[in-house]
Amino acid sequence: MMEEELTLDLRDIFHIIRKRMKTIILITLACTLVSGLVSFYVLKPVYESSTSIIVGKPEGTSQTQTEYNDVMLYQKLIQTYQEIAKSRVVAEQAYTILEKKYTVGEIQGVVTVTPQADTQILVIKAKSGDPVEAAKICSAVSQAFIEQSKVVFPTGGDIQVMDTAMVPVSPVSPNKKMNLAIAFLIGLMGSMGLAFVMEMLDRTIKTEDDIERYLGVPVIGMIPREGTR
């Protein structure tokens, strides 16, 4: 009995999908097309450049102390340098290095500072609509960070640039392929949901199949319309 009901349910689903196929296809294509137009012609590309900075042990720390407290020591050190890199004083010096092309707030808004987990590496990233400017901002902030760290935290660790900022080749956003894929899935699921809602609300009988489906009465014969053979 349960197998019979399950079979009927699946048949109903396929019947609805087949019946509303045009609606499903049109809505899915429309969503994908709109996403493509927005991704390719409306959203501006954003480029990201990054610098990797490695932090050594603090001055005056013995080798024995470093080996004993290395985990806590570097965690606190990296967190301290992360806050220095995000500080206003660093942004102000970067503002000067960039010849006042951007405001301090703009520099802070496009720069992110992230410590790499379980390492002594700090990554500084900068975003811009211009790949060359992204690299310039990243380099300026990195330079300002290293110089200001020596001033505000003279007993800190040895700081060295591991990877300098490069001009990015491709943008990090928008992700056009991802946008298209998401729009396609949203359009497909939304259109199928709409198809089922329309089918549930539509209880009119249009074909002989509908008579058997809704009334459970077999069709014995059909009366043709006047003028048809």
Please spell the DSSP secondary structure of 105-116, one letter per residue.
HHHHHHEEEEEP
Q: Which residue in 40, 18, 55 sits closest to 156, CA to CA?
A: 55
Predicted local confidence at residue 5, as pLDDT: 43
Q: Residue 182 pairs with which residues in a beta bridge?
A: none
Predicted local confidence at residue 169, as pLDDT: 92
Q: How far apart are CA 198 and CA 195, in angstroms?
A: 5
Whole-model pTM over 0.85: no
Structure tokens at 88: 């206003």
Per-residue pLDDT of the chain (229 residues; tens, 9 = 90+): 444 444 446 777 887 888 889 999 999 999 999 999 998 999 899 999 999 998 876 655 555 444 555 666 777 788 889 999 999 999 999 999 999 899 999 999 999 999 988 788 899 999 999 999 999 999 999 999 999 988 888 776 788 889 999 999 999 999 999 999 999 999 999 998 898 888 777 666 656 666 566 666 665 656 666 655 5
Predicted local confidence at residue 223, as pLDDT: 60
Chain centroid to Cα 116, Å, comes to 20
Predicted local confidence at residue 225, as pLDDT: 61
Predicted local confidence at residue 164, as pLDDT: 92
Q: Please count the helices (runs of H) and the strands (runs of E) in the chain.
A: 8, 4
Domains of the chain and CATH, by start: 15-42+175-215 (no CATH), 47-163 (3.30.70.1130)
Predicted local confidence at residue 206, as pLDDT: 59
Predicted local confidence at residue 61, as pLDDT: 54
Predicted local confidence at residue 180, as pLDDT: 94
What three-state secondary structure class fits 45?
coil
Q: How far apart are CA 222 and CA 227, in angstroms?
A: 14
Predicted local confidence at residue 6, as pLDDT: 42
Predicted local confidence at residue 16, as pLDDT: 80
Strand order in the sheet with 157-163: 111-115, 121-128, 47-58, 157-163
Q: Which residue in 137, 170, 148 sits closest to 50, CA to CA?
A: 137
Predicted local confidence at residue 196, as pLDDT: 84
